[in-house]
Amino acid sequence: MILADLLQDQNPWWRDGAIRRVRGYPVRRDLQREILSRVQRLDDRRAIVLLGPRQVGKTVLLLQLADDLLTAGLPPQNLTYFDFSDDRITVEVMAHEVVEAQPVGVVPEYPRVFLLDEIRSAPKWDLWLKRAVDSRVGRIVATDSAARLLRDGSQESGQGRWDELYIEGLSFREFIRLHASPEEDEEARLRLAPNLHERYLALGGFPEYVLSEDFPEVRRRLRSDIAERAILRDLSGLGVDLARIKDLFVYLLQDSGAEFNAEARARDLGADPRSVREWVRLLNDSLLVFPLDRFARGATAGLRSKSKIFAADPGLVTAFASFPIQDPTVRARVFEAAVFRHLREVARDREARLGYYRQREDLEIDFVLEDPRDELVAIEVTSNPRLRADKIERLRRAAKELGADRRILIHGGVLDEQAEGVETIAIQRFLFDPAACLQGGEP
């Protein structure tokens, strides 16, 4: 298919300005609002590169952006969407060709906006993007799923020219939003469906599967889409051993939240420890797993310690678990992955430091959050619905040793319980509004 035809097909608003491509997807993700507002800021020439793993909704977000821009009054001919991974593309398409294919009727008073999906498939895209930003061709939003490739080629060029934004699986609040009726807010829906957090823990935050009742099928598809496709497609071309990366990935998910021992894994995989560390970095760059460093007052002590590696999303833990989700060990890992996913967001927003704490074998805290005001919050997670006195006591002792200002225990019950010196928060309340919980307020 020739480029002009593809562009006409992908931009139906060029022939009829009233057309919207994703009217059937009215729910917006939190990040979508931020990107929309940035695109509309005319004094900002920087491009936006949106990075996230497969299946988290990057394409839908981009198309919603198109719909919203048109609804906000952007002349239809000023908007160009292009998906570089369209399987009808038979000859490589360069990014500049998409920009140069200007439709008739562009209104010069408005900027042109380019929404470029899977930009990695465009050769030398980073050089083009640098020139495009410098020459102010318009407002540009690009997406891709392979963070590593973007960073390798682009870190330097990107300085001052584009902002990298990261999109993960749905937060719990976004998950609820997808269940709500059009006029309903998340809180109202949660009151009508008080155990939605259990579905979130079982299914995870991959939008396509949120409404499914067939949990085993969702897990099967996640295994296939993430392990088979994401790893094989996104990491191919890097000259790495994909089969062993896949094995490592499955291991990391099954052991989500455990300290990572590169030497031991290297022995299991028959590989060099340096390669194994590099593979973990690749998986992290693809936003499929996230490391959590050991918290230490002095930065160097933290660097010497082993990191814990977590699945990026609770759904990945259940999808790859060797046992059913009801198994206490699996459930504990799912809880921790869900809490970590939400803590990461809070830490990013507050520019806070996040780690785990371990002094001795018996003195450990799952998460430690140090915000710029130097408040130190110790956060322990238990999937148990009943609070055990020994667990609370251990948290108190470890927090004292750490010098934490606050102690929080996130638990698997439905009610907030009392425990002296420890704030106990039901998992649902935490996931619903982690920022408010960490501020000590009622969500």
Q: Give the distance from CA 331 to its chain's centroid.
A: 21
Structure tokens given for 60? 């839908």
> In the window 196-215, what residues touch another protein (CB under 8 A)?
198-199, 201-203, 211, 213-215
Shortest distance, CB of residue 408 to another protein, whole angstroms?
19
* Residue 222 binds another protein, judged by CB under 8 A: no
Q: Compute, in degrees rounded to 10, the torsion defined by CA atoms 249, 254, 260, 264.
A: -80
Per CB under 8 A, 426 contacts another protein: yes
- How far from the centroid of its chain's Cα atoms is residue 287's Cα? 7
Which helix (H) or strand (E) covers residue 30, if one does?
helix 30-39
- Copy the structure tokens of residue 253: 């998910």
Decide: is 217 part of the binding site for another protein (CB under 8 A). yes
Between 365 and 426, name the residue whose CB sits nearer to another protein: 426
- Least Å distance, CB 214 to another protein, is 6
Residues 44-103 touching another protein, rule: CB under 8 A, are none
Q: How far is the CB of 64 from another protein (least distance, A)?
A: 17
The CB-of-414 to another protein minimum distance in angstroms stands at 5
Binding-site size for another protein (CB under 8 A) equals 31
Say whether residue 421 binds another protein (CB under 8 A).
no
Nearest distance in Å: CB 314, another protein = 12
Within positions 365 to 394, which residues make up the interface with another protein, using CB under 8 A? 385
The Cα 411–Cα 430 span in angstroms is 9
Cα-Cα-Cα-Cα dihedral of 228, 234, 236, 241, to 10°?
A: -60
Q: Which of 184, 364, 375, 401 binds another protein (CB under 8 A)?
A: 184
Tokens for 110, please give them: 């408005």
Provide, rounded to whole angstroms, the least separation between the CB of residue 320 and another protein: 16
Q: What is the distance between the alpha carbons of residues 363 and 229, in angstroms, rounded to a whole number?
A: 40
DSSP SS3 for 367: strand
As measured in angstroms, the least distance from the Cβ of 180 to another protein is 8
User: Residue 180 or 238: which CB sits closer to another protein?
Assistant: 180
Instruction: Give the integer Cα–Cα distance in Å for 340 and 315.
Output: 13
- CA 85 – CA 117 distance, rounded (Å): 8
**Which residue in 18, 42, 389, 415 binds another protein (CB under 8 A)?**
415
Region for 160 from its dihedrals, namely left if φ exceeds 0, alpha if ψ lies in -120 to 50, beta otherwise:
left
Q: Is 4 near another protein (CB under 8 A)?
A: no
Task: Give the closest residue to 440 by CA, choosing from 423, 418, 419.
Answer: 423
Please report, to the nearest 10 degrees, the dihedral formed by the alpha carbons of residues 240, 242, 244, 245 taken in order: 80
Q: Are 140 and 104 in contact (CB under 8 A)?
A: no
Q: Which of 161, 179, 246, 265 binds another protein (CB under 8 A)?
A: 179
Q: Does 414 bind another protein (CB under 8 A)?
A: yes
Does residue 338 interact with another protein by CB under 8 A? Answer: no
Could you say whether residue 328 binds another protein (CB under 8 A)?
no
| Closest distance to another protein from the beta carbon of 182 (Å) | 7
* Encoded amino acid at 193, one letter: A
Contact between 326 and another protein (CB under 8 A)? yes
Contacts to another protein by CB under 8 A: 24, 178-182, 184, 191-195, 198-199, 201-203, 211, 213-217, 324-326, 385, 414-415, 426, 428
